């Protein structure tokens, strides 16, 4: 195995997923908090179809498909951001996501979706998972929801290609846009942590209930989470609506505007010279 793939395995990003090697030792099945939140924060899971066996070789000899795991509560215990010496170079991280086969979603995706925008941006926007358009194009937040998000960002003076980086909790589309399951979140967890450690954003905006609950580790509603400054690994985090929701609920666009203004005010307060 090459040193590059060995580094992936050492950081929990290796393509060969083994539960016992995940850097989240108590997040699955054993955590009482995860079990207690299941009834309040999880929609009924859709059981995926049986996974086909692979007859031929995969892209890399170290990459093997994992067997389907039983769905669990989607809230995942937070872990520490990787230290500088534990970071993959950005191109290698993107390549690791593209080659990932750590959960069942590799069987149904068209493309992985690493994100879009500027790696040096001060803002990080995190959604739930890619949708149909994102899966087809391999880019985050495209289609009507992405256009709305771009317009909202432009309204507060931000360019979606240079001032922000936009990604999702999951890097692959769940079939039928169902809610992600806990093992799928666990498989993607370190990718997001690596992205955040690279970006060092001034502010994070969680788009939608699922992204907010996953990052903040609670089951509160959007109504309870909005309008205040939370923190994720000491980074200010603002909760807002998902753009796809706003397309169906136009009156809440005014509330989403308030959320972006709060995020902007928070960022400026942090960066203001003392």
- The tens digit of pLDDT for each residue in 205-243 reads 999 999 999 999 999 999 999 999 999 999 999 999 999
pLDDT of residue 271: 86
Instruction: Give the CATH fold of the 3-44+54-271 domain.
Output: Uracil-DNA Glycosylase, subunit E (3.40.470)
Per-residue confidence band for 13, with pLDDT thresholds at 50, 70 and 90:
low
Q: What percent of the chain has pLDDT over 90?
A: 63
Burial class (CB in 10 A: 0-12, 13-18, 19+), 80: exposed
Q: What is the pLDDT of residue 11?
A: 52
pLDDT the model gives residue 81: 87
Q: Which residue has the higher pLDDT, 99 or 52?
A: 99
Task: Output the CA torsion 189→195→200→205 (10° steps).
Answer: -70
Give 150 or 7, the one with higher predicted confidence: 150
Residue 256 pLDDT exceeds 90: yes
Residue 36: DSSP 8-state: H
Write the Ramachandran bin of 95: left for phi over 0, alpha for psi from -120 to 50, otherwise beta: alpha
Residue 69 has pLDDT above 90, yes or no: no
Question: Which pLDDT belongs to residue 4?
Answer: 52
97-142 residue pLDDT tens = 999 999 999 999 999 999 999 998 999 999 999 999 999 999 999 9
Per-residue pLDDT at 12: 53
Split at pLDDT 50, 70, 90, the class of 3 is low
Phi then psi for residue 29, to 5 deg, are 45, -35
Q: Is 10 exposed, middle or buried, given 0-12, 13-18 or 19+ CB atoms closer than 10 A?
A: exposed
pLDDT of the residue at 182: 87
């Amino acid at each position: 195995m090459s040193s590059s793939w060995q580094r992936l395995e050492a950081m929990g990003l290796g393509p060969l997923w083994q539960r016992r090697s995940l850097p989240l030792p108590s997040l699955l099945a054993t955590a009482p908090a995860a079990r207690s939140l299941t009834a309040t924060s999880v929609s009924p899971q859709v059981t995926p179809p049986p996974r086909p066996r692979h007859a031929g070789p995969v892209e890399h000899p170290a990459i093997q498909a994992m067997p389907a795991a039983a769905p669990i509560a989607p809230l995942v215990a937070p872990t520490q951001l990787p230290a500088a010496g534990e970071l993959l170079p950005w191109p290698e991280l993107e390549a690791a996501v593209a080659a990932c086969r750590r959960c069942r979603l590799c069987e149904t995706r068209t493309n992985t979706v690493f994100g879009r925008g500027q790696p040096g941006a001060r803002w990080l926007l995190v959604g739930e998972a890619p949708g149909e358009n994102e899966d087809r194009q391999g880019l985050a937040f495209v289609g009507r929801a992405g256009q709305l998000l771009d317009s909202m960002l432009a309204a507060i003076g931000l360019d979606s290609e240079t001032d922000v980086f936009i990604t999702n909790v999951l890097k692959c589309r769940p079939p039928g846009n169902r809610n992600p399951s806990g093992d799928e979140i666990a498989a993607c967890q370190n990718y997001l942590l690596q992205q955040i450690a690279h970006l060092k954003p001034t502010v994070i905006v969680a788009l939608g209930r699922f992204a907010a609950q996953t990052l903040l580790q609670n089951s509160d509603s959007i109504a309870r989470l909005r309008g205040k400054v939370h923190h994720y690994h000491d980074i200010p985090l603002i909760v807002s609506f998902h753009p796809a929701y706003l397309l169906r609920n136009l009156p809440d666009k005014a509330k989403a505007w308030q959320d972006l203004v709060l995020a902007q005010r928070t960022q400026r307060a942090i960066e203001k010279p003392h």
